[in-house]
Amino acid sequence: MRDGCYREGAKSKTYGIRILSPEHEEQIAYIKTQEYRERIRARSRVEHKNADSNGF
């Protein structure tokens, strides 16, 4: 993994590994579902109506 993370000419060499909590992993899995896509599609219609009613 280090080969892809080191930069040429850097004075020091560091690399990072992203660690996800179980909550983050659940959220990422949910975003990939069909239910999420349907809800986000419906939300855009609702948000538009809310913006119109608030005078923005």
Judge whether 52 lies within some domain. Answer: yes
Q: Find the Cα–Cα–Cα–Cα dihedral 45, 51, 52, 55, rounded to 10°.
A: 180
Per-residue pLDDT, 1: 58
Stated pTM of the model: 0.49
Judge whether 2 lies within some domain. Answer: no
Token pair 């060499």 in the structure block, residue: 13
- Structural domain tally of the chain? 1
Per-residue pLDDT tens, the chain, 56 aa: give them: 556 666 677 777 776 778 889 999 999 999 999 999 999 988 878 777 777 776 65
> What is the distance between the alpha carbons of residues 31 and 40, in angstroms, rounded to a whole number?
10
Judge whether 7 lies within some domain. Answer: no
Per-residue pLDDT, 34: 96
Per-residue pLDDT, 4: 61
Judge whether 11 lies within some domain. Answer: no
Domain that holds residue 28: 20-56
**15, 2 Cβ separation under 8 angstroms:** yes
Per-residue pLDDT, 43: 86
